[in-house]
Amino acid sequence: MAAEIGTHRTILGVDEAVSSEVKNSAAQAGRVRRLVDPARDGVGVIGRVGAAPRLARDDKAMPEAEKLLKQLQGRIRAKPKGDSLHLNDSDVSIAAKTRKSLEDDMRYEHVDNLAVALDDFILRCHQDRSTDQGFQFERMHAKAPETHDCYVGIDYLGVSAPMEILGIRLLPMSSPEIPRFPPPESFDFEPTTGAVAVIETRGTDRARMAERAKEAVRHFLRVLRVTLRDSQGINDKQLRFRVGRVYRFDDLAQGWSAFASTPYAMPLDESARPLIEVSPIATLPAQPTNDAERHANIAMAWMERSRLEGDPLVALLHLFTALEALVGTKDEEKKAPALAFRAAILSHLVDGRFTHPVETLKDYADIRSVAIHGGEVREPITEGDVAKYERTVRWALRQYVLMIRQHGFSKKIQLIRLLDAPEQRRELAEWIRREAPDPAWNDYLSEVEVDSDN
C-alpha cells in the first residue's frame, strides 16, 4: 500500500499534505485508486493537428501549465467522492497559479474564457477519475503557436522609402510589400497613416499577437519622440505620431481597433433635464466664489481629464488627483489612509453609510504612489478599474458639494476639520474592526484610537 501511495505521489507531483489526504482517503476506502493509466502515460511525444507537441509525462520537459494542471488534478482527486467538492485555501491558491500560468502560455491565449475552462477541468477531475484530465485539457485547448509578420499602421509619421531603425522595419504606404486585399474584405489604413511597421509576432490569438506588435511599435515611437526632440528643427507637435487603428498579417488576416479615447455620440433631450438639474454639482458656478467651490471645480477638471484620457493608468492617476482636491491636504505624512478615511466618513455623513476605505487605500498605495515615484505598476489597469474608482470620486464630489452647501462652508479646510473630528474617526475605526477587519489598517486604526482618546 505504501509503495502504491508513493507511486501516485511521484506521478501526480503533489505535495506531502496532499499525499496525506491520499493516504487517509485510501485507508477509508480500503484501497488506492489509480489516477493515471501508465500504459498511456509513459514518456512519448503526443501531437495532433493544431495542438502543440509535448512530452506526455516527462516532468522535466513538461510545460509549467501542464505541471500545475497535473498537480491540481492530484489535489482534487485526493478528496472524497461525492456530489459536492470543497476547495480549501491551498487548493484555491494552486488553481489561481494554474490559471495565471495558462494565461501566460502562448498555446492557450486564444481560449476565450480560461476561468470557465479551468472550472470545468476541476469538475471533471472530481467526477471522472479514470481519465487524465490534464491530457484532455491540453488536447482540447492547446494550439501550436504560429509565427507571422504583422503590419502596423503609424499615423502622422511618414517615410518615403523602406528603412530599418532600432530593429523596426518601416515601409512607405506605396510599398508593394504591404498586404493589399480587395474591398470589402480589407480594412483600409487611415488617410493619416504615413508608414507601416513590420513586426514578427508569434502566438495563437491574432488580436493578442497584434497587440504585442503594437506595443513594440509604441515603445519604438516613445524612443523616437525623446531622441528626435534633440533636433532644434523639430516642433513638439510633430512628435504626436501614434500607432494607427488598422493592422494586417502576412496571411490575409487583418483587423482594427478603435482608439481608447474615441468618443461616441451622446444624444441629449429633455428627459435628461431632471438628472442634471437635481444634482448638487449643478450648483457649482463656472467662476467659483470661494475656496470650497474652487476645489470642487478643480476636482471636476481632473475628472474631465480622466474621462478624455485613453490610457487607463493615466486616467486613474487623474482620478486620484481629483480625490485629493476634495479631501486631501498638502502636509500629510500618511496621505493614502487619510484620504480613504475622509472619503468614507464623508459618505457616512451624507448617505448614512460607510464605504469601506480599504479599496481606496490599496489603489492609492499600489498604483498612485508607485507610478508617481517612478516605479512600475505590475498589474495592468483596466477600464473597469477606472470606472470603479470614477464612481467613488463622483460620489465624493456630490457629497462634498452637499456638505459645503449644508454647512455654509466657504473653505475646504472647514470640511476637512469636520471629517477629521475625533468622534467621526473613532466611529469609522470601530466599524472597520467590527464589520470589515483588514490587516492593512491595523497600524493606522491604532493611531486613530490613540488620538481619539487624547
Handedness of CA 90, 96, 102, 104 (dihedral sign): negative
pLDDT given at position 28:
33
pLDDT given at position 454:
57
| CA dist 362 → 160, 315, 320, 357, 417 (Å) | 49, 17, 12, 9, 24
Q: Divide the 454 residues of the chain into consecutive groups of 10 and give the mean pLDDT of each group.
A: 26 29 33 28 28 42 88 93 88 94 94 94 93 94 95 96 96 93 72 96 95 96 93 90 93 84 87 91 95 97 94 91 92 76 89 71 70 75 88 93 96 94 84 76 72 59
- Is 168:227 a contact under the CB 8 Å cutoff? no
pLDDT given at position 256:
86
Helix then strand then coil, in percent of the chain rounded to 5, is 55, 10, 35
What DSSP character marks residue 282? G
Measured CA angle at 339 (ends 336, 343), to 5 deg: 140
pLDDT given at position 44:
26
pTM for this entry = 0.70
pLDDT given at position 381:
85
CA dist 345 and 340 (Å) reads 9
